[in-house]
């Protein structure tokens, strides 16, 4: 009985200290002159291990814990007071809306603390671009948030994880990164969360912002910026997930030759509130798919025309009469990023004019 009561007391005290924000995020031996950077680990290849040093495919992602990731790069201590937290440990193809909500809430909670100057998130590369955009729209702070990963597992010759992590921590502690939205630091380059995309299945230079270009370089222990993202993000974003425990169902259907509407109908029957159509070319819709999208819209499902091309603006009233069909266009967002914006938009409104405006704003 006594043991039970004292455990309850201890739990209550811990909960009080934690909720009061009195639990220091940084170690007691912290150097006052260095920024305080929290590393939130989520898994991926950066935490992966292979059978041999030459295993660069066929390894297991999400094996190494955050403390070992930090220990493997002692140079981090020269650029920041770092502390790690294992938020989850997954290969990023298993990322879900629930993981994103948990991550966004934790990032917002930490950035509200005066003793946290920036955050690095270690992440599998497959869905980095999605998590980066989700956080770009749901983190409400100017403080730097940098997402990083690796294309080679931690056990490989020339693993890219350590240098990528070092650059990410340097960037997250840099005053130059303040107010620039969520950033992806990889292969000595800095990309904007809204724009970045994975362009190669396996090479270390996979992250790019095709056509519009990356924001800057990480070189010689410093960030060098040359351009800025102009779309609204972070502190200017209207999306607030702090009280949400789920997001509306939005699914993606793909355009291709000999197209059909089977997957679309299944998504709508399963309760999708929004559909992203990754059309061919400028978001064109096949005659086989179009009636399904029209019926979905008549049932109240919001339809967004994106493109499988990956570059360029999907023109409103171009390849479809969006005004007449009451469809939305994705602007330059690829289908997986358009899915994120539509989910967040649907937490606020079902009005397609307002949603279209969001696609031109974020």
Measured from the CB atom, the residue of 93 and 238 that comes closer to ligand ASP is 93
**DSSP secondary structure string for all residues of 235-261:** GG-----TT-S----EEEEE--TT--S
Cβ neighbors of 45 (< 8 A, separation 6 or more) are: 59, 61, 124, 125, 149, 150, 151, 152, 153, 161
Q: How far is the CB of 126 from ligand ASP (least distance, A)?
A: 3
CA-based nearest residue to 174, from 196, 190, 193: 190
CB of 153 to ligand ASP, least distance (A): 9
CB of 227 to ligand ASP, least distance (A): 26
Nearer to ligand ASP, 151 or 241 (CB): 151
Q: How far apart are CA 303 and CA 200, in angstroms?
A: 29
270, β-bridge pairs: none
Buried b (16+ CB within 10 A) or exposed e, 103-115: bbbbbbebbebee
Across 146-173, b (16+ Cβ under 10 Å) vs e yields bbbbbbbbbbbeebbbbbbbbbbbbbbb
Question: For residues 79 and 120, what is the distance between their CA atoms, to the nearest angstrom?
Answer: 13
Q: Rounded distance, CA 190 to CA 170, Å? A: 12
Q: Which spans of this chain sit near ligand ASP (rule: CB under 6 A)?
A: 44-45, 61, 91-93, 124-126, 149, 151
Q: In the complex, what is the shortest distance from the CB of residue 102 to ligand ASP, in angstroms, rounded to a whole number? A: 17
User: Minimum CB separation from ligand ASP for residue 250, in Å?
Assistant: 21
Q: How far is the CB of 67 from ligand ASP (least distance, A)?
A: 19
Nearer to ligand ASP, 207 or 359 (CB): 207
Nearer to ligand ASP, 151 or 190 (CB): 151
Minimum CB distance to ligand ASP smaller for 61 or for 172: 61
The CA distance from 73 to 24, in Å, is 23
Q: Is 197 marked active-site?
A: no
C-alpha to C-alpha distance for 214 and 171, rounded to whole angstroms: 15
Q: Residue 90 is encoded by which pair of tokens?
A: 């997954």
Question: In the structure encoding, which two tokens stand for residue 29, read together?
Answer: 């031996």
What stretches of the chain show up as alpha helix (H) in DSSP? 2-19, 66-71, 76-79, 97-111, 128-138, 161-172, 262-269, 290-298, 322-325, 335-346, 352-361
Quickly list H helices, 43-180. Answer: 66-71, 76-79, 97-111, 128-138, 161-172
Task: Tell me how far apart the alpha carbons of residues 150 and 163 are, in angstroms, rounded to a whole number.
Answer: 9
Identified catalytic residue from 45, 127, 138, 209: 45
- Cβ distance to ligand ASP smaller for residue 44 or 216: 44
Which CB sits closer to ligand ASP, 44 or 255? 44
- In the bound state, the residue with its beta carbon closest to ligand ASP is 124
Instruction: Name the minimum Å distance from CB 270 to ligand ASP.
Output: 25
- Give catalytic residue positions: 45
């Amino acid at each position: 009985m006594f043991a039970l009561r004292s455990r309850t007391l201890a739990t209550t005290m811990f909960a009080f200290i934690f909720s009061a924000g009195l639990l220091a995020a940084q170690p007691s031996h912290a150097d006052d002159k260095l920024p305080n950077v929290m590393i939130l680990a989520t898994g991926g290849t950066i935490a992966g291990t292979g059978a041999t040093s030459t295993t660069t495919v066929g390894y297991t992602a999400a094996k190494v814990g955050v403390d070992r990731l930090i220990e493997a790069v002692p140079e981090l201590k020269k650029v920041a007071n770092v502390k790690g937290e294992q938020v989850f440990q997954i290969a990023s193809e298993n990322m879900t809306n629930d993981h994103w909500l948990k991550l966004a809430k934790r990032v917002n909670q930490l950035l509200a603390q005066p003793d946290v100057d920036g955050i690095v998130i270690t992440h599998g590369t497959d869905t980095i671009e999605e998590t980066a955009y989700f956080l770009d729209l749901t983190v409400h702070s100017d403080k730097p948030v940098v997402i990083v990963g690796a294309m080679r597992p931690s056990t490989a010759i020339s693993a890219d994880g350590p240098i990528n992590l070092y650059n990410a921590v340097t960037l997250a502690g840099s005053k130059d990164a303040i107010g620039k939205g969520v950033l992806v630091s990889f292969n000595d380059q800095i990309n904007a969360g809204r724009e970045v995309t994975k362009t190669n299945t396996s090479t270390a230079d996979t992250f790019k912002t095709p056509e519009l270009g990356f924001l800057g370089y990480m070189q010689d222990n410093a960030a060098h910026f040359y351009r800025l993202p102009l779309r609204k993000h972070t502190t200017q974003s209207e999306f607030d997930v702090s009280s949400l425990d789920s997001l509306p169902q939005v699914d993606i259907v793909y355009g291709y030759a000999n197209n059909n509407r089977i997957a679309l109908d299944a998504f709508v029957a399963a309760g999708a509130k929004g559909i992203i159509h990754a059309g061919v070319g400028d978001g064109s819709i096949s005659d086989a798919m179009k009636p399904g999208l029209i019926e979905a819209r008549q049932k109240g499902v919001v339809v967004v025309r994106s493109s499988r091309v990956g570059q360029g603006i999907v023109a409103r009233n171009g390849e479809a009469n969006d005004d007449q069909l009451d469809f939305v266009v994705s602007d330059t967002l690829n289908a997986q990023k358009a899915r994120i914006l539509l989910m967040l938009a649907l937490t606020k409104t079902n009005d397609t004019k307002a949603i279209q405006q969001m696609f031109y704003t974020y």
